[in-house]
Amino acid sequence: MTPVLDVHGLAYAYPDGHQALFGVDLHVHRGERVALLGPNGAGKTTLVLHLNGILTAGAGSVAVSGLAVEKANLTEIRRRVGVVFQDPDDQLFMGTVRADVAFGPANLGITGAELDHRVLRALEQVGMEEYVDRPPHHLSFGQRRRVAVATVLAMEPEVLVLDEPSSNLDPASRRELADILRSLDVTVLMVTHDLPYALELCPRSVVLSGGTVVADGTTYDVLTDEALMKAHRLELPFGFDPRTAMPRP
Ligand SMILES: Nc1ncnc2c1ncn2[C@@H]1O[C@H](COP(=O)(O)OP(=O)(O)OP(=O)(O)O)[C@@H](O)[C@H]1O
């Protein structure tokens, strides 16, 4: 089966010459939820920016459901890969929640009842349908993060890429977002430093460090490999033990 995300030998140097990725391979299949872990400066964001063509491969290749990420395909690639950035304010810039969620599908040429349906469905998926006519800047941070997820879901992407989805959320909002992500029928790649969140949501974890993949396995195996964790500056919160963490239903 063709992977949804297929990254082969991806290498990338920024224009100033800094080499951020060295031959990264990553294959994610439909329906998987994968955490992308690694210390600051590992190359996680650089990799994510290649998945929807904000950056394009210096060497190697990136494909989404068999379609190469390259200039000629960017409109279709951005429909297939939805990226939710860490700061929801990077994604919300219209006068109402409705207008923000409609923006992407409207750009694809969707109008009328189909557009209304997409907007409401996406807001329902994140539990924000009651806020459809509110200005995004009147919402709390956690509510804006949910709306940012809805702007991407309205595009009906094949893969949802989230950059630090649990950051700045209170415990209840963090849990509610986990419930939402778990309920979605979409492939998820989640960049996170929140290792308990990775364990809770993602059966598989990939560790990037120094621009290369240094581990790819079950999240449980990664988080219980003390030598690996130490070598790549991954630390569990004080008192958190993956061996005894209770799985959520
Ligand atoms: N625009 C840029 N120009 C030059 N170097 C950059 C640029 N952006 C990032 N880098 C460098 O590339 C490397 C990878 O950065 P990247 O942002 O991908 O790491 P990250 O794993 O996402 O880190 P963090 O966990 O801190 O967000 C770092 O050494 C960083 O300093």
Q: Domain ranges for the chain, please list them.
A: 5-85+158-231
Distance CA 7, CA 26 (A): 5
Q: Which two tokens mark 242?
A: 């993956």
3-state SS, residue 186: coil
Report the pLDDT value the prediction gives residue 201, as an integer from 0 to 100: 95
Mean pLDDT of the 4-11 span: 96
Q: Which of 10, 12, 14 for mutating ligand 1's site (highest number of atoms within 8 Å of CB)? A: 14
Q: Phi then psi for 53, rounded to 5 degrees?
A: 80, 15
Q: ipTM of this model?
A: 0.98
Per-residue pLDDT band for 96 (boundaries 50, 70, 90) equals very high
Quote the ligand 1 centre to 22 CA distance (angstroms).
13
pTM as predicted: 0.94
Q: What digits encode the pLDDT tens for the residues 218-238?
A: 999 999 999 999 999 999 999
Report the pLDDT value the prediction gives residue 249, as an integer from 0 to 100: 55
Residue 113's alpha-carbon distances to 1, 101, 149, in angstroms, are 35, 14, 21
Q: Which of 12, 45, 83, 162 for mutating ligand 1's site (highest number of atoms within 8 Å of CB)? A: 45
Quote the ligand 1 centre to 45 CA distance (angstroms).
7
Other C-beta atoms lying within 10 Å of the C-beta of residue 140 = 11
Please state the CATH superfamily assignment of the domain spanning residues 5-85+158-231 in this structure: P-loop containing nucleotide triphosphate hydrolases (3.40.50.300)
Quote the ligand 1 centre to 14 CA distance (angstroms).
9
Strand ordering across the sheet containing 67-68: 19-28, 5-13, 59-64, 67-68
Provide CB contacts within 8 A for 67, sequence distance 6+: 73, 76, 77, 80
CB-count burial class (<10 Å; 0-12, 13-18, 19+) for 171: exposed
Nearest Cα residue to atom 14 of ligand 1: 43
Mean pLDDT of the 196-220 span: 97
Nearest Cα residue to atom 26 of ligand 1: 40
Neighbouring C-alpha atoms within 13 Å toward the C-beta of 120: 6
Distance CA 49, CA 55 (A): 5
Closest CA to 91 of 8, 40, 155: 155
